[in-house]
Homo-oligomer: A and B are copies of this chain.
């Protein structure tokens, strides 16, 4: 807990010193003011984070954290629990959606076993940081112990620190864990005070009867454990997940190292809520990748107070949305760095009319 607290204390909001100079540079480019819309917003934020008018992305990494959930035994998902394990093997072989999308963009994927049930055979490419063999079913017991929650968050922080040393300065989050929309919805519900019935969704595609059951399970878990809505460790212990904790740690670590971090979809945004409960200043480093089709995602984004970059009706996780949005951030740095000014291009600006 002490190391975790040291990280959190080290997080500062991004410098605003260059704000005016960044807008001046963008406004001097040979095109109508603000005509590149959100690309300019991203460029502005990235330059501020980097503390330079010429930000460069040197390395891009997505951590795909995998963990299992005891609550899966309540039948809240369409898929059997062993799919978490099977999908980790699929990530390692490079055949999963996030592999294909990240490869297209030249983004490095790091697959982390932070809490998958069962043991993996030796596999090159798998980062083994197992905190537990899945969480406990929160209808029967708290999902994890306090030291497990802290260890899982610390794992995310540590992994980022290793990558920063290697020159990575743009991070993305990702998740794999059968049943993990259930703990994510529980976190959302506790933090915002909204009833699970209003924000729970189909996850991987359950029918309406199973959705009703899922709502009942989430309500019952919250009622049993009464998590403190302002305490991220208490939330993780009672209704959280190992991968959600890892994602929260990744976001804290990125913020500590003053690196932008792109938050994937519904599960990752639950992780972002946990990170923000630890330290609200991480918001300066967070970019929300896309609007998930999971209905509760809007309430999460509203609570965070940011608009997503993309809306492609995706609902997969793994880091798939993060990969696409990260590429748009890299593009934004080129927009800031490479577009010629009115002066350099010898183009009349409106002021010269």
Q: How far is the CB of A63 from chain B (nearest CB, A)?
A: 19
Does chain B have a CB within 8 A of A14? no
State which of B82, B204, B347 has its C-beta within 8 Å of the C-beta of A83: B347
Question: With a CB–CB cut-off of 8 A, which chain B residues contact A96?
Answer: 30-31, 339-340, 345
Q: How far is the CB of A37 from chain B (nearest CB, A)?
A: 3
Tell me if B79 and A312 are in contact (CB < 8 A). no
Tell me if A90 and B315 are in contact (CB < 8 A). no
CA gap between A104 and B315 in the complex, in Å: 27
CA gap between A327 and B312 in the complex, in Å: 14
Tell me if B97 and A31 are in contact (CB < 8 A). yes
User: Which of A1-9, A226-234, A328-336 contacts its partner?
Assistant: A328-336
Tell me if A335 and B30 are in contact (CB < 8 A). no
Question: With a CB–CB cut-off of 8 A, which chain B residues contact A87?
Answer: 30, 345, 347
Taking A31-B316, A37-B315 as known contacts, 7 extra A-B pairs with beta carbons closer than 8 A to each other, sorted by chain A number, are A32-B316, A36-B316, A36-B320, A101-B334, A103-B334, A205-B350, A324-B328
Please list the residues of chain A having a beta carbon within 8 angstroms of any beta carbon in chain B.
Answer: 29-33, 35-39, 78-80, 82-83, 86-87, 89-90, 93, 95-97, 100-101, 103-104, 203-205, 293, 310-316, 320, 324, 327-328, 330-331, 334-335, 338-340, 344-350, 352-353
Can you offer 28 A-B residue contacts whose CB atoms are under 8 A? A30-B96, A31-B97, A32-B78, A32-B204, A35-B315, A36-B314, A36-B316, A36-B320, A37-B312, A37-B314, A38-B314, A39-B314, A79-B353, A86-B345, A89-B346, A90-B347, A95-B338, A95-B339, A96-B339, A96-B345, A97-B339, A100-B335, A101-B331, A101-B335, A103-B334, A205-B350, A311-B311, A327-B327
